[in-house]
A and B are shown apart, each in its own frame.
Chain A
Amino acid sequence: MKSKIKYIVILFISFFLLSSNVFGYYDKVDNTEDKIYDFGEYLTQEEKENLKIKIDKYISTYNLDLVIVTKKDYPYSSMRSYAEDFYDYNNFGIGNTHDGIILFFNIDSEGPCVYIVTTGEAIRIYDDQRIDSLKTRMSNQKSNGNYRMIDAFIDALDSYASMGVAPSNKDTYIDKNGDLKVVRHYPFSIVFYSLLFTLIIMLILIKKNKILRKAYDANNYFDKSEYQILIHDIVHTNSSVRKIVHQSSSSSHSGRTGGSSVHVGSSGTSHGGGGGRL
């Protein structure tokens, strides 16, 4: 009996973990075409429809998915995981690399806060600087209400998308796994180093032919048994101390490639983005 109860408990926990995704909690949606998931109930139906028109236009123009999800009193520290899992496990994104962006809008006891997650080509378009700018644009509309903040967000997205890839990411690409990679140009320093090593080796080989060496010392004829130190004075004349401070690297990002901070979500997909309080 006891072992049966044990098995039931294990089964229940496994089911719960699998359904909720081991590393985080997200809401499963039935219709990924809606694009606006206002769980926080911040938007009226009319506002949602207006935003949906802009979202559809954005998607068709730039071939990037765009998802808005809202919640109320969601723990701030878990917002990134929620946004990433919501996007990945609900299969948002266009193409093999799931290109797109999700805005997670949340209001807790301290006020509105957002997390913006980018995937695929969206990582290249919205670098860290542009993400900060998106947050600023939203923040500027804080006094005008939640709809205005989200509307400003979409306008800013459109504006940056029309400019194309962020300058800081111009030497990057998204590989078939959706990871952000730096384009490495063939370094012509290889030619320089090849020449340098060749020169060193040739000098060694040429030196082998030069057997003649003038003798500059008489070490071979030094009589060690007669060597006697008469005076050996050592005077400490000066002391100085130099301090070298080591620059500590920021631990707030998982990694930085090009101009975007990149993080691997629980699904194994790479995401860019950023968040904060407005």
Chain B
Amino acid sequence: MKNSSVIDHKCINCDAVLKFSPHTQTWNCEYCKSVFTKDEIEENEKKRGIEELTRDSEPNKVENVSGIDEYLCPNCGAQIIADENTSATFCIYCKNTAIIRNKLIGEFNPSKIIPFYKTKEDAINKFLGLTKGKPLAPSCFTSKKNISEIRGVYIPFWLFDYELKGSINMLGTKVTQNYIDDATYVKTDTYSIHKEANVSFDKIPVDGSMRLDNTIMNAIEPYFYDKLQNFNHSYLSGFYAEKYDVDSNTAEYDALKRVYTSTTNIMKRENENYYSLNVISTNHTHTRTNCEYVLLPVWLLNVKYKDKLYTFAMNGQTGKIAGDIPLDKRKVVLYSITIFILFLVILSLFWFLFVKSA
């Protein structure tokens, strides 16, 4: 079995590069238009002698200079340079997908993957429609020419499952009013509430990449996990991929903060017949029941506008896009003045017509 540093996927009919199609969830040859299913791809790889990447696979020796790895393209032999976190990239000469073996084996072998369901065109169209309903956005911001880079990337994520024993102490009040003669009697009853409950959370995602902003990754949630597939490196064809550089113990901190907050909110939410409800103290304990390392699809767009770079991310499964749109300062001033004058005129008219003459 071949054990090369870089893996690619070739068409068995014409030996051209195969790319995964999000639309059809198949592998397509751009030259001879052949289409292959997952089973056919696996069969093809067996025939070509390409090994399956697992946690138990032995790593290759690779030239590494200050965090940069060097590989040879299996298609054209050109040098491929990749940083230490890149697990799939492209040859800049022949555009062949280069899947880097060492970054996908052993501890870096993902257990699951959600393939791309949205294409590059979907990402561009979503971006172009971003400023709809946003009057303060610059008119020319969402223009194709502003997109300096667009990449489909498989981002490393940790998925955490937790079981919590939630414990909460609250102070609640109930208010009743009675009207007798010329007086209102307001009765306030105070209650001390203690609650304990079992609370479970499944597959809370935390991205395992240091260079990606967690806020952006949060903003494109959720992913639908019923589409999780067993990992196969073939899905990476035509896309970039990264391995994690934030381990599960570090990433867990973010997940726990969210889980503890939710537990308190869930336990508080059920007591809705109180006039006021204040949390006095909580004492939750948790058990991590599962932790999975997966790859999730994201389209990353870098947009250059007035010498500033803006990053947008689109969920490669659902199409949900996130990213802050800049404000057009001139529009902000214009809208402020217009709205102010409008209110001034309307309120003044109202006063002249109905209040002054009353």
What is the interface of chain A, defined by CB distance below 8 A to chain B?
184, 186-187, 190-191, 193-195, 197-198, 201-202, 205-206, 208-223, 226-246, 248
Q: Which interface residue of A209, A210, A228, A236 has the most chain B CB atoms within 10 A?
A: A209
Cβ contacts under 8 Å, B79 to chain A: none
- Give, as a whole number of angstroms, the nearest-CB distance from A173 to chain B: 12
Q: Contact between A211 and B219 (Cβ–Cβ < 8 Å)? A: yes
Q: Contact between A231 and B136 (Cβ–Cβ < 8 Å)? A: no
Cβ contacts under 8 Å, B125 to chain A: none
A-B contact pairs, 22 of them (CB 8 A): A193-B347, A194-B343, A205-B335, A206-B332, A209-B326, A209-B327, A211-B321, A213-B215, A217-B265, A221-B204, A223-B201, A229-B195, A231-B197, A232-B195, A239-B187, A239-B188, A239-B189, A240-B188, A241-B185, A241-B188, A242-B186, A243-B186
Q: Is B348 an interface position by the 8 A CB rule? A: yes
Determine chain B's interface SS by DSSP, over half rule: mixed
Q: Contact between A244 and B343 (Cβ–Cβ < 8 Å)? A: no
- Give, as a whole number of angstroms, the nearest-CB distance from B266 to chain A: 6
A209-B325, A241-B186 known; A233+B199 contact, CB < 8 A? no
Q: Is B221 an interface position by the 8 A CB rule? A: yes
A206-B327, A211-B219, A227-B199 known; A194+B183 contact, CB < 8 A? no
A211-B219, A217-B258 known; A190+B351 contact, CB < 8 A? yes
Q: Contact between B344 and A191 (Cβ–Cβ < 8 Å)? A: yes
Q: Contact between A217 and B262 (Cβ–Cβ < 8 Å)? A: yes
The 9 closest A-B pairs by CB, nearest first: A226-B200, A215-B218, A194-B343, A218-B258, A238-B190, A231-B196, A223-B200, A217-B262, A198-B340
Q: Is B222 an interface position by the 8 A CB rule? A: yes
Taking A222-B266, A242-B188 as given, write out 20 further A-B residue pairs in contact, using a Cβ cutoff of 8 Å, ordered by the A residue number. Answer: A186-B351, A191-B344, A208-B136, A209-B134, A211-B219, A214-B215, A215-B218, A215-B221, A216-B258, A217-B261, A221-B204, A223-B201, A226-B163, A228-B198, A234-B172, A234-B191, A234-B192, A239-B187, A239-B188, A244-B185
Which B residues between 155 and 171 are near A, CB-CB below 8 angstroms?
Answer: 163, 165
Bound CA–CA A236/B202 (angstroms)? 36
Cβ contacts under 8 Å, A206 to chain B: 136, 327, 332
A194-B344, A242-B185 known; A219+B339 contact, CB < 8 A? no
Bound CA–CA A111/B143 (angstroms)? 95
**B182 — nearest CB in chain A belongs to which residue?**
A246
Q: Contact between A218 and B201 (Cβ–Cβ < 8 Å)? A: yes
Among A198, A212, A242, the residue within 8 A (CB) of B323 is A212
Which B residues between 225 and 275 are near A, CB-CB below 8 angstroms?
Answer: 255, 257-259, 261-262, 265-266, 270
Determine chain A's interface SS by DSSP, over half rule: mixed
Q: Contact between A228 and B262 (Cβ–Cβ < 8 Å)? A: no
Bound CA–CA A84/B186 (angstroms)? 47
Bound CA–CA A193/B348 (angstroms)? 11
Interface residues on B, range: 35 or more
- Give, as a whole number of angstroms, the nearest-CB distance from B31 to chain A: 39
Q: Contact between A202 and B191 (Cβ–Cβ < 8 Å)? A: no
A214-B218, A237-B192 known; A230+B197 contact, CB < 8 A? yes
A236-B191, A239-B188 known; A220+B133 contact, CB < 8 A? no
Q: Contact between B202 and A211 (Cβ–Cβ < 8 Å)? A: no
Bound CA–CA A243/B133 (angstroms)? 50
Q: Is B193 an interface position by the 8 A CB rule? A: yes
**A213 — nearest CB in chain B belongs to which residue?**
B219
Cβ contacts under 8 Å, A238 to chain B: 189-190
Among A201, A231, A237, the residue within 8 A (CB) of B195 is A231
Q: Contact between B262 and A222 (Cβ–Cβ < 8 Å)? A: yes
Bound CA–CA A243/B183 (angstroms)? 7
- Give, as a whole number of angstroms, the nearest-CB distance from A63 to chain B: 27
Q: Is B137 an interface position by the 8 A CB rule? A: yes
Q: Is B80 an interface position by the 8 A CB rule? A: no
A201-B339, A202-B335 known; A209+B191 contact, CB < 8 A? no
- Give, as a whole number of angstroms, the nearest-CB distance from B201 to chain A: 5
Cβ contacts under 8 Å, B202 to chain A: 221, 223
**A225 — nearest CB in chain B belongs to which residue?**
B200
Cβ contacts under 8 Å, A193 to chain B: 343, 347
Q: Contact between A222 and B194 (Cβ–Cβ < 8 Å)? A: no
Cβ contacts under 8 Å, A234 to chain B: 172, 191-193
**B198 — nearest CB in chain A belongs to which residue?**
A228
**A247 — nearest CB in chain B belongs to which residue?**
B182
Bound CA–CA A227/B202 (angstroms)? 12
Q: Is B212 an interface position by the 8 A CB rule? A: no
Cβ contacts under 8 Å, A229 to chain B: 195-197, 270
Q: Contact between A227 and B200 (Cβ–Cβ < 8 Å)? A: yes
A190-B347, A194-B344, A246-B183 known; A205+B135 contact, CB < 8 A? yes
- Give, as a whole number of angstroms, the nearest-CB distance from B212 to chain A: 13
A217-B262, A236-B191 known; A198+B343 contact, CB < 8 A? yes
- Give, as a whole number of angstroms, the nearest-CB distance from B105 to chain A: 29
Cβ contacts under 8 Å, A210 to chain B: 324-325
Q: Contact between A209 and B137 (Cβ–Cβ < 8 Å)? A: yes
Q: Contact between A202 and B192 (Cβ–Cβ < 8 Å)? A: no
Cβ contacts under 8 Å, A190 to chain B: 344, 347-348, 351
Q: Contact between A194 and B215 (Cβ–Cβ < 8 Å)? A: no
- Give, as a whole number of angstroms, the nearest-CB distance from B356 to chain A: 5
**B222 — nearest CB in chain A belongs to which residue?**
A220
Q: Which interface residue of B135, B195, B270 has the most chain A CB atoms within 10 A?
A: B195
